[in-house]
Amino acid sequence: MLYYLFQFLDERYNFPGAGVFQYISFRALGAVITSLLIAAIFGRRIIDTLRNLQIGESIRDLGLEGQMQKRGTPTMGGFIILASLLIPALLFAKLTNVYVVLALVSTVWTGMIGFLDDYIKVFKKNKEGLEGKFKVVGQVGLGLIVGLTLSFNDYVKIRKYAPRLFSTSNVPDVYTDIKSTLTTVPFVKNNEFDYSSLLFGFLPDSYTWIVYVLICIFIITAVSNGANITDGIDGLAAGTSVIIGLTIGVLAYLSGNKVFSQYLNIMYIPNAGELVIFCAAFVGACVGFLWYNSYPAQVFMGDTGSLMLGGVIAVLFLAIRKELMIPIICGIFLVELVSVIMQVSYFKYTKRKYGEGRRIFLMSPLHHHFQKKGYHEAKLVTRFWIVGIILAVLALATLKLR
């Protein structure tokens, strides 16, 4: 909103300093500061409100050290993240940008799914929360919206440059903005993959959108649930999301910048740079929430926050066509999710075969396994963050290591 206000002031009245809002870097800085201020000013009030409404976490006794002391800690703290993310994004981003609109829609959509889950747990006293099938329906719905928008919206294009006949900066670039189903493949020299190849020639390329929508649904569901499962100890999901958000912000800036994308020989996506403002607000919101969620937590984000974080991260990756980098950058989410799948699958298999269920880990997800082995919660979270930073650096290195 502020972008349009200062654009009007600059064009109509030549207002001093108004032109600075044209710069992505300035608006990203404004979004970070605003999100941190919102979390600092209103975070405590939101926590007090949750406590007054007796919206406390119901803790199951899993035999973990210090676990039962957390009983009654306010949950639904995801509202702090939502407020700190949405308000700066609305203020500083271009609201006509389809990528920003998709990010905002995904934030509200997954936040509502998480809120329903928390509401049922807290007010209906049902520890299972929203049934899994309804969560999946909501995630599938978002996947359809994102997949169809990225497939058919005329605003969503990539830029293809014609080869230069002369190696001089004085010769203008010849390019074409095209609709495409290309995405980025890490560690590969010619690092682009076309989803149309998954049709294997059985169907014409015009049916590629079906494959792409199914892939969007899978990615959004997987990453959203991965973040949800990771949210098990103080600061783990929020801190990991900060690292991921920063990495996506860098990738969005490079992919949306003509000079850097050509220098790095990566796909140039016109207007994708606007997502840097959203990523800045995302990082600021998560850092602001960590002020209250770091060990020992004063508030839990609940599914209101964790499902939203994962859903938004997935949509951002899809928007900048870097979804094949998710297993690297979101490695923490992936390992946590896979540990649960392995544990449950192996338990069911051994129960059928031997009549007694056996386990791979002491407890799943993986962070509980390490807790059972005696690792202190704070040390465990810090080490997970370090692993997350290493994965982020590795992912950024793939821009040159091919």
Annotated binding site for Mg(2+): 228, 303
What residues form DSSP beta bridges with 183? 193
Phi/psi at 136 (5° precision) = -65, -40
Q: What is the DSSP letter of 363?
A: S
Give dist(CA 347, CA 350) in Å, integer: 5
Spell out where 27-86 has E strands: none
Which positions make up the binding site?
228, 303
Determine the Cα–Cα distance for residues 10 and 158; give it in Å rounded to an integer: 30
Nearest C-alpha neighbor of 78 from the set 101, 46, 31: 46
Six token digits for residue 269: 């996506």
Structure letter (DSSP) for residue 131: -
Question: 């980025």: which residue's tokens?
Answer: 184
- Helix axes of 2-13 and 78-92: crossing angle, nearest 10 degrees: 20
Helices and strands (H, E) in the chain, number of each type? 14, 4
Give, in order, the Cα–Cα distances in Å from 213 to each of 151, 270, 385.
Answer: 8, 21, 32
DSSP codes of every residue in 341-362: HHHHHHHHHHHHHHSS---SSS
SS3 135: helix
Are residues 163 and 175 in contact, defined by beta-carbon separation less than 8 angstroms?
no
Length of the chain equals 402
Q: Which tokens sit at 334?
A: 């992936």
State the Cα–Cα distance between residues 245 and 317, nearest whole angstrom. 10
Strand blocks (E) in 173-290: 175-178, 182-184, 192-194
Give which of 278, 221, 285 is closest to 248, Cα–Cα. Answer: 278
Listed residue (303, 252, 260, 258) closest to 280, CA to CA: 252
